[in-house]
Amino acid sequence: MSEGAILPRKGNQISGTWAAGVFFLMATGAMAQTVTIVLPDGQEDLRGVLERASLTATLGTDTPAGAQSYVAAARADYRRLLTGLYSEGYYGGTISIRIDGREAANIAPLDAPSTVSAVTITVDPGPAFVFGEAQVAPILPDTILPESFATGEVARSGAIQSALRAAVAAWQAEGYAKAAPAGQQITAVHPDQRLDVNVTVDPGPRLSWGGLSIEGNEAVRTERVRQIAGLPRQGVYDPKELDRAAARLRRTGTFSSATFIESDTIGPGDTLPFTLQVVEMTPRRIGAGAELATDQGLTVSAFWLHRNLLGGAERFRIEAEVSDINTANDGFGGSGIDASLSLSFNRPSTFRRDIDLVATAEIARQDEESYLLDSADFEVGITQYVRDDLTYNASLGLRTAVEESEGRTRSYILLTLPLQGTLERRNDPLNATDGFYLDLEVTPFLGVTGAANGVRAYADGRAYRSLGENDRLVLAGRAQFGSILGAGPLEAPADYVFYSGGGGTVRGQPYQSLAVTSRADFGRGLTDVRTGGTSFVGAQLEARVGITDTIGAVGFYDIGLVGDGVLPSGNDPFQAGAGIGLRYNTGIGPIRLDVATPVTGDSVGERIELYIGIGQAF
């Protein structure tokens, strides 16, 4: 290349090495101290593009570079910078790269100077080109090409790439798995500052599913890998099925990766064989966690997990939790230590490829201010993954419990039918900045002995909106609603009714501090009994501000209302709390520190509650 790189003019076709630049946006980099990029007035918007394209600009940013490295990088930069100009629609530019006054293109690789003091990159982008002809063919009738690839639009090379990808993807979605670019004719008409583009696609034959071979599994049986993947054995090829199959395999938690590799050759009868390569995770895992809240005390938990219990990617988990550790009391009458031990078993793709079999068992003691409950729960059911973001659960459960509350002790047996639907559209469940989440639960319960019949309903909705540059401000909101039908506050199980106060409802207010009072006669005359309500409404609002990349601040306001009817009313008691918090972002979610105080009640601004945990409050 001679001094300066100049595009051919007079309508010449861009071909060979020139056309290659249209389709590649090169690696990124930051500007080095010894490198200067010079642009004409009014073209400063191109500086970032050129800095990211330039290899020379990256030298010396992390480790010192020698003179020969600068020469090699500068010689490579002609093509890279030209590609950067193409990406912004400039096809008549000139580039000069001088190393201590010498044009880099004229310096032989083995004749590099012993030292380099300054590199000057001078770029004159010339005028921006627009698309004249903008054609991709053949395309399917419903193919949606990007709006940026049209006559009169700025002729950015990325628009050509996007249009070509859209055309190929549309063919592949209809079963033409081997669809690929077939040719291109790209002509720069310099007098008119116009770029004419004609790109062709070869769809190839429409293919059906071929055979599937499986590699990489050692502990998981091959037939179970095939069953979980659930690829069709016949019918027209659909790339979305591959995405769904890979998601099912990863969802088991047994595989760290699952990759489908299509055959290079088409099989008999226009079929497409595949190879599935999986990588298994370590089968066993242990973990522990801790959370501290001044109104509930310390909570510690631990679990043991087996990811492949029976050789078919079955998950078996044992978990223990102890909470309210520093608030222990002797028996009922004040909040004491809570403890639970649970077992869970999950067998993926049991009845159908998107339906898991789930079984759980738990024994627990809940020592709360209003009740002391010893319970044993058993459930067996299914989880159906309707879409990547939509999940249904249905179970049949049995509970046996002994419940001690003010004025009575009762034993009961319940049959339950928990039903749940979850819609997950947050961009990050542990630290969401955009999207929403909705969880709906309906649990009909039948009192076999000692308890009433009824239905418990609960809804939890969360939404997130980011504002400002780099999501520096995130507005987050949560709304909760609960109701019990068919059973009153004293008839429903004690842990089915609703309270307000504490980290999950209203921060700043003591845990379960808002309840209702009912009149009851347990054989010793009418008395007032404190219990949870049969209806609940709660809201939590947060403004999350990023101070640095790892440190953030939060301001929040929470409110909760508890009633003794099926639906809450304006006469029901409510409470509110507010506070501030700090967040320290880690690879597994932010570490949370919240300080809150009541804004209703007798201790407004006087009582302080502290909450420490991992992950956002919601």
Q: Residue 471's Cα: distance from chain center in Å? A: 15
Domains of the chain: residue spans and CATH: 5-124 (no CATH), 130-202 (3.10.20), 208-280 (3.10.20.310), 331-336+347-614 (2.40.160.50)
Q: Residue 95 pLDDT more than 70? A: yes
pLDDT given at position 37: 93
Q: Residue 589 pLDDT more than 90? A: no
pTM of the shown model: 0.76
Q: Over the stretch 213-234, which tens digit does the pLDDT of each residue have? A: 999 999 999 999 999 999 998 8
**pLDDT-derived band of residue 21, with 50, 70 and 90 as boundaries?**
very low
3-class SS of residue 246: helix
Q: Are strands 180-189 and 13-14 parallel, antiparallel or unpaired?
A: antiparallel
Measured CA to CA, the distance from residue 211 to residue 412 in angstroms comes to 55
Q: Residue 115 pLDDT more than 90? A: no
pLDDT given at position 353: 94
pLDDT given at position 449: 92
pLDDT given at position 60: 60
**pLDDT-derived band of residue 65, with 50, 70 and 90 as boundaries?**
low
Q: Over the stretch 378-395, which tens digit does the pLDDT of each residue have? A: 999 999 999 889 999 999
pLDDT given at position 66: 78
Q: Residue 473 pLDDT more than 80? A: yes
Q: Residue 452 pLDDT more than 60? A: yes
pLDDT given at position 5: 36
pLDDT given at position 30: 35
pLDDT given at position 1: 35
**pLDDT-derived band of residue 32, with 50, 70 and 90 as boundaries?**
very low
143: tokens are: 């193919």
Identify which of 410-424, 505-519, 587-601, 602-616 has the greatest average pLDDT.
Answer: 410-424
Q: Residue 311 pLDDT more than 80? A: yes
pLDDT given at position 406: 79
Q: Over the stretch 537-587, which tens digit does the pLDDT of each residue have? A: 999 999 999 999 899 999 999 999 999 999 988 889 999 999 999 999 987
Could you give the C-alpha distances from 564 to 373, 403, 459, in angstroms and in order? 21, 20, 18
Question: Which segments of 263-337 are extended strands (E)?
Answer: 271-280, 284-293, 297-306, 315-323
pLDDT given at position 336: 83
Q: Residue 578's Cα: distance from chain center in Å? A: 28
Bridge partners of residue 422, in order along the sequence:
391, 439
**pLDDT-derived band of residue 22, with 50, 70 and 90 as boundaries?**
very low
Lowest-pLDDT range of 318-332, 407-421, 482-496: 318-332
Could you give the C-alpha distances from 27 to 51, 81, 84, 503, in angstroms and in order? 10, 11, 10, 46
- The stretch 334-340 carries a mean pLDDT of 83
- Average pLDDT of the chain to the nearest whole number: 89
User: What percent of the chain has pLDDT above 70?
Assistant: 92
- The stretch 168-184 carries a mean pLDDT of 95
pLDDT given at position 469: 78
pLDDT given at position 64: 58
pLDDT given at position 69: 86
CB 561 within 8 A of CB 538: yes
Q: Phi/psi of residue 525, each to 5°?
A: 90, 165
- The stretch 502-528 carries a mean pLDDT of 86
